[in-house]
Amino acid sequence: MSRRKTDEEYSKTRAYRFFKWLKGEKDYTPSETKMDMSLLIPIADASTTVERMQDKQIAKERAYDEHSNRLLKFFNRMYRIVAVMFCIIFGALLIYNVSYLPKVGAVDRPTNNEVPARYIEKGIEETGAVNIVTGMILDYRAFDTFGESNVLFVATITVLILLRINKDRSRLSPVLSEDDPGAGDSIYEPKDDLILQTVAKFLVPIIMVFGIYVILNGHLSPGGGFSGGAVIGAGLILYVNAFGFEKTEEFFTEKTYKWISFGALTTYCLCKAYSFFCGANHLDSHIPLGTPGAILSSGLILILNICVGMVVACTMYTFYVMFRKGDF
Amino acid sequence: MTILQIILLIFLLVCAVSVSITRDLLNAILIYMSFSLIMSIIWVTLESPDLAITEAAVGAGVTSVLFFVTLKKIHAINIEKGTRELKDADINTEEEDGLDEQA
């Protein structure tokens, strides 16, 4: 029969500590243990700051002084020699290996097997895309492309987590001012550069139209969702640089990013979910493929291209905005 | 292999080596940009224009711009003063920032 432990005994067991930790209680309170809460380095005025910088410089110079430290001298020399040797050997090895590769376009290449043969022979018939590459990546291998779009989305989320500036922080630290080159980036706006603005006025519409063309003609001509999206993203970045964040905030905010990414990825998933579910070789989407060569053809590929393009364009722009400003 | 391709490949090699040799980070990015542009032309000659478009937009465009912004964040470019060296003023402001974070 188990005996109930006394409180004193129980407080020594691991279970007690575990439940205590689970509840969020701490073993000590800072006031009891008299923890030293004062700053280790007192906030210094400008003169001591300069002194400390000089001290740091002197310490650095002494630490890396080659004349008094023979081992360091030896190490520095050996480091250079070994680095150069390593580069040369590695490069030679790679070039030596390249000479064994089969020639470009040779018949007996190992990649020339039944898979590309089938793609080339039956690609247009089965996917309806004149551009075989797009037919491959958005029909035969649509699952891969879906994963890639999701990777971009996850990357953007990571950048948002890492680089987004909390707006309340500017209230806490009064250092943020336009005079300070370090802190001013979040409120720094591009200057009204006449040359840049004039060039952007001509170039941005052309870049945008080209990007849209590349996306919409992904199944007819070279390009596709990723290339077109990257072009549109680059155009947006140019626009921001020329005209400032105030102009872009009119049409692109955090909400826009959220809904475009969510909508595009969900549309992609819904379009292809049946195929993903039914296995690799399922291709019939029961959507008429149309005549190859027409813009409204090849079934779902056009929609998927637009989805991928939107995700990529938003990702590029969000990356830039986060790096530059830390907020939309 | 045509003469154009050989010239482009030589340029590519020169760019690749000089990126690693350059001490100035800003120059390294500019050389990297030209590397991407040459690479995109090589993609065209290798008959893959879709890759060329992507390379030109991502490699020469977006990635380099992100590098520029990062350099600005770490104070490697000082646009206002027209120099790229870390001056005493910058060191001081950095120090103040660090202190503020500690506080």
Residues A313/A229, Cβ–Cβ less than 8 Å: yes
Q: Decide if A324 and B69 are in contact by the 8 Å CB cutoff.
A: yes
Q: How far apart are CA A44 and CA B50, in angstroms?
A: 57
| Mean pLDDT along residues A115-132 | 81
User: Do A279 and A204 share a domain, yes or no?
Assistant: yes
Strand partners, B78: B83
Ranges A33-42, A101-110, A149-158, most confident: A149-158
Which of B54, B93, B102 is opposite residue A182, by nearest beta carbon? Answer: B93
Instruction: Please tell me the predicted confidence (pLDDT) of residue A172.
Output: 47
Distance from CA of A235 to the nearest CA of B (A): 9
Q: Does A53 touch chain B (CB under 8 A)?
A: yes
- pLDDT band, residue A89 (cuts 50/70/90): very high
User: Do A202 and A93 share a domain, yes or no?
Assistant: no
| pTM value > 0.90 | no
Nearest chain B residue to A241, by CA: B65
Q: Decide if B53 and A231 are in contact by the 8 Å CB cutoff.
A: yes
| Predicted confidence (pLDDT) per residue in A256-275, tens digit | 888 999 999 999 888 888 77
What's the domain count of chain A? 2
| Mean pLDDT along residues A92-116 | 84
Residues B40/B56, Cβ–Cβ less than 8 Å: yes
Of the candidates A205, A232, A241, A231, the residue with the CA atom closest to the CA atom of residue A323: A241
Q: Which one is predicted more confidently, A66 or A201?
A: A201
User: Do A80 and A147 share a domain, yes or no?
Assistant: no
Instruction: Please tell me the predicted confidence (pLDDT) of residue A174.
Output: 46
CA A257 to chain centre: 14
- In-domain check, residue A88: yes
User: Do A60 and A204 share a domain, yes or no?
Assistant: no
Residues whose CB is less than 8 angstroms from the CB of residue A296 and which lie 6 or more positions away in sequence, other chains included: A290, A302
Which of B65, B92, B94 is opposite residue A237, by nearest beta carbon? Answer: B65
Check pLDDT > 60 for residue B99. Answer: no
| Mean pLDDT along residues A53-81 | 83
What part of B 56-75 touches A (C-beta under 8 Å)? 57-58, 61-62, 65-66, 69-70, 72-73, 75
Compute and round to an integer the Cα radius of gyration of chain A.
30
Q: Decide if A52 and B58 are in contact by the 8 Å CB cutoff.
A: no
User: Do A307 and A249 share a domain, yes or no?
Assistant: yes
Q: Does B13 touch chain A (CB under 8 A)?
A: no
Check pLDDT > 90 for residue A83. Answer: yes
User: Do A146 and A288 share a domain, yes or no?
Assistant: yes
Distance from CA of A307 to the nearest CA of B (A): 17
Q: What letter would DSSP give residue B41?
A: H
User: Do A193 and A312 share a domain, yes or no?
Assistant: yes
Amino acid identity of A134? Answer: T
- In-domain check, residue A189: yes
Q: What letter would DSSP give residue A6?
A: P
- In-domain check, residue A250: yes
User: Do A248 and A192 share a domain, yes or no?
Assistant: yes
Instruction: Please tell me the predicted confidence (pLDDT) of residue B96.
Output: 44
Query: What are the domain boundaries of chain B?
Result: 3-102
- In-domain check, residue A24: no
Percent with pLDDT over 70 in chain A: 81
Cβ contacts (< 8 Å) between A234 and chain B: which residues? 57, 61-62
Q: Which domain holds residue A295?
A: 129-165+182-324
Check pLDDT > 60 for residue A187. Answer: no
Taken in order B37, B40, B46, B47, is the CA torsion positive or negative?
A: negative
User: Do A187 and A246 share a domain, yes or no?
Assistant: yes
Instruction: Please tell me the predicted confidence (pLDDT) of residue A202.
Output: 92
- pLDDT band, residue A44 (cuts 50/70/90): low
User: Do A251 and A206 share a domain, yes or no?
Assistant: yes
